[in-house]
Structure 1
Amino acid sequence: MDPWGLTTTALLAGVLFLIFLSLWIQGSKRGKLPPGPTPLPFIGNILQLDFKNITASFSQLTEKYGPIYTVYFGTQPVVVLHGYDLMKEALIDQGDAFTDRGIIPIFEDVLKGQGVLFSQGERWKQLRRFSLKTLRNFGTGKRSIEERIQEEAQCLVDELRKTKGQPTDLTFILRCAPSNVICSILFHERFKYNDEKFLYLMNLLKEDVQVLNSKWVQEKDNPQSEFDLENLLATASNLLCAGTEPTSSTLRYGLLLILKHPEVQAKIHREIDRVIGPHRVPSMNDRQDMPYMDAMVHEVQRFITLKPFNFPHALNQDIQLHQYVIPKGTTIFPMIFPVLHDSKEFHNPDQFDPHHFLEKNGKFKKSDYFMPFSIGKRSCLGEGLARMMLFLFFTTLLQNFTLKSVGDPNEISIKINHVGFTNVPPYYQLSFFPREGIRPS
């Protein structure tokens, strides 16, 4: 045999050996893991997943393999949890084992495990405790934060009055409002919506975060501390981004759904007029007397399921889940979408209907299945702040304005756009007409 033939044969034998080795390694790992589709060598199940709609792909696999199964991203196994019972059993009943964060390469490259969202172990514990304490000190759940949101809601109303009923794209302005609330917490300052510094805020975070971490700058001499400038910068960035974009998208999506359902807007207006009236500033105390508005805000979050599954978790120890033994280090994808769209808990789950959260007598109805902020020890630490912003922004906007669509409401598309691991609202415009009897602020 000529040398070229020997070389080709040797290469082919090497490739086959690597393929068989990969299959053997994956097979040995799968012996402890839940079943799932057979992975290909090196690339795993990537070709079997539609990354334009990963939620649909996972739901199809659930129909075949059940509520807990394994897929491979390359050679790395990922266990998918599908349904309320599994989510509760894993993230609540065995929550201590699920506190590590699964690696997301793009965030790992940028943040390198820093910040409260993507850190692990003791670093995560310290930064989460610090973040929760900071939010409490600045008034989360107290009147001082409520006053900040009320002020920003009135600024938002003033900006929308300037549109004079002309069709408006809300993408920018609804990003400014919640971002300003977070800025007032982090930096003790809100910005005008046309402020040049505000438009480039992300470039200024490194300077402004000194306000947040000034009491910790001695900490560089403590080798056990995670309070260095890089971690606090990343945490501030986490809070700003996580507090801005989800709230902004929920507001945009909610207003679109209200446009699509004029009867919902009419019921909200009647409730606002009865409870608050045209002049008093809405407050969180009003929520207990406004079950329909409260239900509408919950239903928006349920229906759109902004994050179909939470950021991946990772096990910090071996666990048993059902009949499976899942080893330490395994990445876990807890699916939120199937819980928020469970047909046993929500009749017609694919329909937008605030009555999903109302009793027959009209009182608000709580649901354990409502988990847009996830559950467990790595659930969203800003959940209370987000809930407050959504209620006060929605209520203030609908107290002051009647929303009008550009065209026929029946022609409005509410189709969800799947972008990576999130859902985003479609582009649209609407008009804001001041309601009669409302005095300009």
Structure 2
Amino acid sequence: MDITVLGTIVLAVVISCMLIYSTWSTMYRRRNLPPGPTPLPVIGNLLQIKRGRMVKSLMDLSEKYGSVYTLYFGSRPVIILCGYKAVKEALIDQGDEFSGRGRLPTLDRIFQGYESPVNPTNIFAQAVSNVICSIVFGNRYEYDDVKFLKLLNMFNETFILMSSTWGQLQDMMPMIINHVPGPHQKIEKLLTKQLEFISETVKVNQDTLDPSSPRDFIDCFLIKMQQDKQNATSEFTMKNLLMSVLNLFFAGTETVSSTLRHGFLILIKYPDIQAKLHEEIDRVIGQNRAPNIEDRGKMPYTDAVIHEIQRFSDVVPLNVPHSVTKDTHFRGYTIPKGTDVYPLLCSVLWDPSQFATPNKFNPGHFLDDNGCFKKSDAFVPFSTGKRVCAGEGLARMELFIFLTNILQNFKLSSEIHFTESDIMPKMTGIANVPIPYQLSFKPR
């Protein structure tokens, strides 16, 4: 090829790229959005996100662009909120405007041995999930039920895939990544199988329904569906029933289970904290009865440890995405209606202005000088405002009952010496999943 022709082609490509970039930059800067890194066409700010380290990347960007900044997930602007003050101002002070449900593409495609070391993953998942089963299905499953175990394993695998590098890419650029082969493609298949499990159970309820005597959540929903069957705009539809039950299972099982697994790993690492818990349990409850929720008010140290486990483990660091319900003015900027907003829970739970040693596990964050339990407005593991987690009360009760019952009867230990790095949440994607480990339950 003639060198002149080649040079002309190269020059034309360079000029075209410059014009595209210039036009894109001008278009996005015309909006009165918060500042942020300049996005590229198609991929947005993908290059600013370190591979598999979305949470850390978002926190690092806040140091440069401030507590409120704009990041582009592909061509879609997303508002990032960092720190207690910014998150509180949005979710509490302007709660109505920030109450919309944001998009999460990894899910949106579907929503539309005694005395020997054991892996606690299935144990905790089964125990926690059976609480949800009692509410939703009106019964529980045996721990050796193969079908139930498969369902729980699918929950855990979905949670992990959503937090993987591929899951992060899918949430940022769904229009592209939805069509690219990779492990993230399994998320839709897993969710479909979970829906099939729920559909079978709903069918059993339909066949045995007695409207005068509802047995569980599904019965109540089915009865309301019958009452509203002439209402074309009713939200009580079979699709909503299946999605509501899947939401309850998915959110109510894996988050509490992961928190318990984080907590027990921490208590193995710090046997002195475990010993103090044993002492308070023995003093307040003793060994002759099971713990109950009323005991929590008499056990400030235990309550503080549970709060610190939730703060430190930070199971859902990015929060569930919100969206603004109308054009919203926030800190001098204009956020257009429908724009997704990520109020980063990690930036609140680890805010140095709110917690003395945010990067260390320290129950003292929730204790005053007299050893009494001390609340913190920055304790937001369930988020806050209009879209606070609906299962907060149940989850708090579960964490207290499970932890105190186990520690009343067992001492936790492991043959492995865990380091500070081992217990530190990994801060990768939408969920913090603890490292796999085994522990021994030794009778006290």
TM range (shorter): 0.7 to 0.9
AA in 2 matched with 1:91:
L
| 2:307 partner SS | helix
Give the one of 266, 274, 279 matched to 1:265.
274
Task: Give the direction of change, closer, same or farther, for the CA distance of 1:412–1:281 in structure 2 (3 Å limit).
Answer: farther
- Alpha-carbon distance in structure 2 between the residues aligned to 1:9 and 1:336: 47
Evaluate the alpha carbon distance shift between residue 411 and residue 16 of structure 1 in structure 2; reply closer, same or farther with a 3 A threshold. Answer: closer
Is 2:114 the counterpart of 1:105? no
**Residue number among 125, 128, 145 corresponding to 1:178 in the alignment:** 128
Q: Per the alignment, do residues 34 and 345 of structure 1 end up closer, same or farther by CA in structure 2, a change over 3 Å counting?
A: same
The CA distance in 1 between the partners of 2:229 and 2:9, in whole Å, is: 57
Q: 1: distance between equivalents of 2:435 and 2:416?
A: 15
Tell me which residue corresponds to 1:369: 378
Q: In the alignment, what sits opposite 1:343?
A: 352
For 1:183-227, what per-residue CA distance to the aligned partner results, in whole angstroms no more than 9, with x for missing partners? 000000011111133224434211323434220232343122111
- 1:52, 1:418 within 8 Å by CA — same for their partners in 2? no
- Aligned residue among 233, 254, 276 for 2:285: 276
Q: Distance in 1 between matches of 2:51 and 2:81?
A: 18
Alignment of 1:92 onto 2:92: yes
- Listed as ranges, the matches of 1:7-406 within 5 Å are 12=13, 18-29=20-31, 32-112=32-112, 163-201=113-151, 202=194, 203-209=196-202, 210=205, 211-212=218-219, 213-218=221-226, 219-406=228-415
SS at match of 2:70: strand
The whole-number CA distance in structure 2 between the counterparts of 1:186 and 1:281 is 25
Over the aligned positions, Cα root-mean-square deviation in angstroms equals 2.3
CA offsets, 1:299-355, max 9 Å, x none? 000011111121111111111111212221221110111211122221111111111
* Aligned equivalents of 1:57, 1:252: Cα separation in 2: 26
Query: What is the rounded CA distance, in whole Å, between the counterparts of 1:11 and 1:183 in structure 2?
Result: 63
Shift in Å, 1:10: 12
Is the Cα contact below 8 Å between 1:102 and 1:314 reproduced in 2? yes
- Separation in structure 2 between the aligned mates of residue 303 and residue 200 of structure 1, nearest angstrom: 30
Counterpart-to-counterpart distance in 2, 1:15 and 1:198 = 54
Task: Report the residue type matching 2:299 in the other structure.
Answer: M
- SS at the partner of 1:42? coil
Q: TM-score, normalised by structure 1?
A: 0.82
Contact 2:312 2:425 in 1 (8 A): no
**1:39 Cα deviation from its structure 2 partner:** 1.2
In structure 2, the CA distance between the partners of 1:62 and 1:412, relative to structure 1 (3 Å rule), is closer
Number of equivalences:
382
Given that 2:25 and 2:38 are in contact with CA atoms closer than 8 Å, whether structure 1 keeps it comes out as no
Residues 22 and 42 in structure 1, CA contact (< 8 A), matched pair in contact too = no
1:235–1:109 CA distance, 2 compared to 1 (3 A): same
Per-residue CA deviations over 1:102-151 (Å, capped at 9, x if unaligned) read 22222221112xxxxxxxxxxxxxxxxxxxxxxxxxxxxxxxxxxxxxxx
Question: Which range moved further: 34-43 or 17-26?
Answer: 17-26
> Hey, what's the Cα distance between the residues in 1 that align with 2:366 and 2:308?
7
Change (3 A) 1:46 1:408: closer
1:397-429 Cα deviation digits (max 9, x unpaired): 000101111134568821333442211101111
Instruction: Give the deviation of 1:18 after TM superposition.
Output: 4.2
Q: Is the 8 A contact 2:70 2:78 kept in 1?
A: yes
Equivalent position of 2:172 in the other structure = none
| TM superposition score normalised by structure 2 | 0.81
SS where residue 40 of structure 1 aligns?
Answer: coil
- Matches of 1:40 and 1:88, distance apart in 2: 31
Instruction: State the Cα deviation string for residues 362-401 of structure 1 (Å, max 9, x = none).
Output: 1100110100000011111000000000000000000010
Name the SS for the 2:120 alignment partner.
Answer: coil
Tell me, what secondary structure is at the counterpart of 2:401?
A: helix
**Alignment partners' CA distance in 1, 2:129 and 2:56:** 31
CA contact (8 A) 1:26 1:75 kept: no
Alpha carbons 2:269, 2:418 under 8 Å: kept: yes
What is the identity percentage for the equivalent residue pairs of Structure 1 and Structure 2? Answer: 48
Residue ranges of structure 2 left out of the alignment (5+ in a row): 152-193, 206-217
On the 8 A contact 1:404/1:432 being kept in 2, the answer is: yes
